Amino acid sequence: MAKRVKKKDLKENKLAEEGVKVFFYTTKHKAKITWIAGGILIICIGGGYFSHTTKVRQKKAKLEEREAVAIYGANNIREALTRFEDISQLYPKTTSGINSLYWLGNIYYFQGRYKEAREFFEDYTKKGKDLVLVQSALLGLGDTYIQEADYFQASQKYEELTTKFPTSSLIPKAFFQLIRCYQALNQKDNVKRAYETLSENYPNSPYTTKSQSLIINLM
């Protein structure tokens, strides 16, 4: 009497057959499989190396940024300028490299080089991630225009700051500068509106007191 073949046996036989197929395929295409495996390994190693290198560069850039900021704080402007230029060129995609754009704008502004300062500030507002520095860069942009008596463009930047960052600590100064711009542009209604907002929301700010002398003839 023939032995009955069970489903379990069929599954085991099928598994064995698949195993044999895989063995022969592997043997036949050994070179191809080795090449693919090697490629995957290289990608993994390369990815790990790239990640490590990126972290090292970011750490080094951050350290150099701190040193440059300290040098700038010590009023060694020439050395600070060189340091920030180097950081922005050597580490352009790191946070510190991008932050250097702001610091360069700041240095150029106080050197009276308003066009260069404006370019750096503008670049930082597009690339920067530090919101405090972005706010300061917007204020700096307005200040570069006001220094060149371009009151309309200046007002645009101050308005952008007050609209995008209404809770910024720079808002009182931005409104003070807006009042100056509106007055120069003979926009009396805007002068009054800006002063009312400033005095209502920041009654104790020194910029509110300074604004009073600007609008005294308009009230």
Provide the pLDDT for residue 116. 97
Going from N- to C-terminal start, the domains of the chain cover: 44-129, 130-219
> How many beta carbons lie within 10 A of that of residue 36, not counting itself?
11
Contact between residue 164 and residue 141 where contact means Cβ atoms under 8 Å apart: no
Q: Is 58 exposed, middle or buried (0-12, 13-18, 19+ CB in 10 A)?
A: middle
The CATH class of the 130-219 domain is: mainly alpha
Q: What mean pLDDT value characterizes the chain?
A: 84
| Alpha-carbon span 193 to 201, nearest angstrom | 12
Q: For 15-66, what is each residue's pLDDT tens digit?
A: 445 544 544 544 555 565 555 655 565 555 555 544 556 788 888 999 999 9
**DSSP labels, 81-107:** HHHHHHHHHHSTTSHHHHHHHHHHHHH
pLDDT tens for 123-145 read 999 999 999 999 999 999 999 99
pTM confidence score: 0.73
Distances (CA, A) of 12 to 5, 9, 41: 11, 5, 34
Query: Would you say domain 44-129 falls under CATH 1.25.40.10?
Result: yes
Q: pLDDT, tens digit, for every residue of 62-83? A: 999 999 999 999 999 999 999 9
Same fold, 44-129 and 130-219: yes
